[in-house]
Amino acid sequence: MKKTIGIYSIILGISIIALWIVLLISNNVPEVQTEPISIIFHLCAELLMGLMLLISGISLIRKSKVGDILFLISSGMVIYSIINSSGYYGNSGEWSMVTVFILILLVTLFFNSVLIRKYLK
C-alpha cells in the first residue's frame, strides 16, 4: 500500500506544480496584477507543497523510514490547500473544480488513515 500512496503523492505533487505553471504561462492568475505580494506567498506555499509531495512519494516508494511522516506532513498541506482553494473556486462558481478537490481530499484522508492505523496498533 505504501507504494500506491507514494505514486499518488508523486502524481499529486507533479500535478500541482504543472497546474501552476500552466496557469501562470496562460496568464490565468489575475492576482499577479491585483494582489502580487499575496500571490507570491501563495505560490511559494503551493510549490513547497508540491515538492514535499514529490519527496514524500519518493521516500515511500524507496521504503525510507521518513516516508510516512513526510507524507503526513505534506498531506496536511494538501488538506489546508484544498479547503482554501475550494472556497476560491466555489466563490467563482466553478463547482467542477470544487468536486475535484473534494475527491482529492477524500483520497488523501483515506491514505492518511492507512498510515496512521499502522502506528495505532
pLDDT in tens, 37-52: 999 999 999 999 999 9
13 near 54, Cβ under 8 Å? Answer: yes
Q: How confident is residue 88, by pLDDT bands cut at 50, 70 and 90?
A: confident
Q: Across residues 69-86, what is the average pLDDT?
A: 94
DSSP letter string, 67-108: HHHHHHHHHHHHHHHHHHHHHHHHHTT-HHHHHHHHHHHHHH
Run of H or E residues at 7: helix 2-25
Q: Is the pLDDT of residue 74 over 80?
A: yes
Q: Across residues 58-74, what is the average pLDDT?
A: 94
pLDDT of residue 119: 79
**Cell 473556486 appears where?**
89
- Least confident range of 19-23, 73-77, 91-95, 116-120: 116-120
Q: Which of 54, 52, 57 is nearest to 67 (CA)?
A: 57
